[in-house]
Amino acid sequence: MNKVGLIIKREYVTRVRKKSFIIMTILGPLLFAGIFASVFLLNRVDSEKHTIVVVDKSHLFEGKFKSDTKLTFVYQNENVDSLRAKSKDLGYFGVLFIPASDKIESLEKGVVLYSEAQPGFDIIERIKFTIEKDIKNAKMVAAGVDDKKLDMIKTDVEIQTRDLENKETSTGLTTGIGFGSGLLIYMFIFIYGAMVMRGVMEEKMSRIVEVIISSVKPFQLMLGKIVGVALVGLTQFLLWVVLSIAAVSIVSAAFLGDKTEKEKIEAMQQMRPGMNQMNQLNAAQQDQIMSPKEKLSDALASINFVVIISAFVFYFLGGYLLYSALFAAIGSAVDSETETQQFMLPVTIPLILAYVVSATVMTNPNGSVAFWFSMIPFTSPVVMMMRIPFGVPYWEVGLSMLFLIAGFIFTTWLASKIYRIGILMYGKKVSYAELWKWIRYHN
**Res 375 pLDDT > 80:** yes
pLDDT tier, 289 (very low <50, low <70, confident <90, very high otherwise): very low
Chain mean position to CA 363:
13
Would you say residue 346 has pLDDT above 60? yes
DSSP per-residue letters across 350-361: HHHHHHHTHHHH
CB 298, CB 394: distance < 8 Å: no
**pLDDT score, position 210:** 67
Mean per-residue pLDDT for 45-63?
A: 77
32 vs 185, residue with greater confidence: 185
**Highest averaged pLDDT of the listed ranges 41-50, 56-65, 165-174, 404-413:** 404-413
Q: Cα(348)–Cα(365) distance, rounded to whole angstroms? A: 23
**165-224: pLDDT as tens digits:** 666 666 777 787 888 888 888 888 888 888 888 878 777 777 777 677 667 777 777 888
Burial tier of 265 (Cβ tally within 10 Å: 0-12, 13-18, 19+)? exposed
Position 391: which residue type?
G
Work out the pLDDT band at 404, boundaries 50, 70, 90: very high
Specify the pLDDT at position 272. Answer: 47
Burial class of residue 129 in the structure, from the number of CB atoms within 10 Å of its CB (0-12 exposed, 13-18 middle, 19+ buried): exposed
According to the model, what pLDDT value does residue 271 have? Answer: 45
Q: What pLDDT shows up at residue 288?
A: 46
Higher pLDDT, 345 or 275: 345
Q: Assign 279 a pLDDT band (cuts: 50, 70, 90).
A: very low
For residue 278, name the pLDDT band (cuts at 50, 70, 90). very low
Q: What sign does the CA torsion over 252, 256, 261, 263 have?
A: negative
| Residue 207 region by backbone torsions, left for phi larger than 0, else alpha for psi between -120 and 50, else beta | left
For residue 144, pLDDT beyond 80? no
pLDDT for residue 427:
67
Using the predicted structure, report yes or no on whether residue 128 has a pLDDT greater than 80: yes
C-alpha span between 65 and 54 (Å, rounded):
9
In CATH, the number for domain 50-153 is 3.40.190.10
In 3D space, the residue among 34, 149, 143, 123 whose CA is nearest the CA of residue 71 turns out to be 123
What rounded mean pLDDT belongs to the chain? Answer: 76
223: buried, middle or exposed (CB in 10 Å: 19+, 13-18, 0-12)? buried
- Do the strands 50-56 and 112-115 form a parallel or antiparallel pair, or are they unpaired? unpaired
DSSP-derived 3-state class of residue 96? strand
Can you give the residue ranges of every domain in the chain?
Answer: 50-153, 170-248+303-440
Residue 297: is its pLDDT beyond 70?
no
d(CA 187, CA 351): 10
Which pLDDT band, with edges at 50, 70 and 90, does 378 fall under?
very high
Whole-number pLDDT of residue 376: 92
pLDDT of residue 82: 80
pLDDT band at 276 (very low <50, low <70, confident <90, very high): very low
Report pLDDT digits (tens) over 214-241.
677 777 778 888 888 888 888 887 887 7
Confidence label for 259 from pLDDT (cuts 50, 70 and 90): very low
- Beta strands 50-56 and 71-75 are parallel
Report which of 235, 401, 406, 416 is spatially closest to residue 325, judged by C-alpha positions.
416
Segment 413-423 shows an average pLDDT of: 81
Average pLDDT over residues 276-293: 48
Reported confidence tier of residue 260, pLDDT bands at 50, 70, 90: very low
Average pLDDT on 339-358 reads 84
Q: State the Cα angle at 85 between 79 and 90, rounded to 5°.
A: 100
